[in-house]
Chain A
Amino acid sequence: AQSVTQLGSHVSVSEGALVLLRCNYSSSVPPYLFWYVQYPNQGLQLLLKYTSAATLVKGINGFEAEFKKSETSFHLTKPSAHMSDAAEYFCAVSVGGGKLIFGQGTELSVKP
């Protein structure tokens, strides 16, 4: 069965520092993988997606993620954090039939 594990429920970085949010997946078939962001009191916004094309995926707001099959990982990175990046981030895998399984989420805090 497919599953998603996000390492670290809370990550805190300083403004300008590297952001690294970790996601590992389990899937018996080549997966479609997604990162979503949820700002306070808002819905989910798609940051980026991996759909078996390039393994390095660039998304919105300067974020990118690299699909590593050997490590079953899809970590999200941003070279320089901005205060506006503070939010909850969810990694998700598509399990067929259009359904998504989400990780538990990582809350990113950005310190001035």
Chain B
Amino acid sequence: SAVISQKPSRDICQRGTSLTIQCQVDSQVTMMFWYRQQPGQSLTLIATANQGSEATYESGFVIDKFPISRPNLTFSTLTVSNMSPEDSSIYLCSAGVSSGGYTFGSGTRLTVV
């Protein structure tokens, strides 16, 4: 299985600012994903990061708020823009294939004050 390094592991940010989260995979993968886990909740898919094209966003998530980059097959970033306290969550990236299972990064714990 792929190994994913995600950073930062945690951050405290001021409202109105932006934070970029990085996700590095130790091997080339076709599929990369970004999830959000709100406090005490399950995981919700934000978007699929596509290499060479725009990300595919799930209902309720928009590119202006969560711009995503995928410059190559091993790296992706998620930016949380114009943050408000409601954005305080754990953000996780994931990669892999259905048959092999999906690996997750260790998550970024974001607190917006």
Which of A's residues lie within 8 Å of B, judged by CB?
Answer: 32, 34, 36, 41-46, 49, 51, 90, 94, 97-105
Q: From A104, which residue of chain B is reached at the shortest CB distance?
A: B42
10 residue pairs of the A-B complex, CB under 8 angstroms, read A32-B99, A42-B107, A43-B92, A44-B43, A45-B104, A90-B43, A97-B48, A99-B33, A100-B33, A100-B43
Distance between B14 CB and nearest chain A CB, rounded to angstroms:
23
Cβ of B45 and Cβ of A99 under 8 Å apart?
yes
The answer to whether B101 touches A46, judged by C-beta atoms less than 8 angstroms apart, is yes
Does the CB pair B101–A99 fall under 8 Å?
no
- CB pair A41–B33 under 8 Å, yes or no, is no
B7 within 8 A of A: no
Nearest B-chain residue to A88, judged by Cβ: B42
Q: Are A98 and B42 in contact (CB under 8 A)?
A: no
* A41-B109, A97-B48, A98-B97 known; A46-B43 Cβ under 8 A: no
**Chain A residues near B13 (CB, 8 Å)?**
none
Residues of the A chain whose Cβ atoms lie less than 8 Å from the Cβ of B48:
97-99
- Min C-beta distance of A3 to chain B, whole Å: 12
Within 8 A of A (CB), among B71-110: 92, 94, 96-107, 109
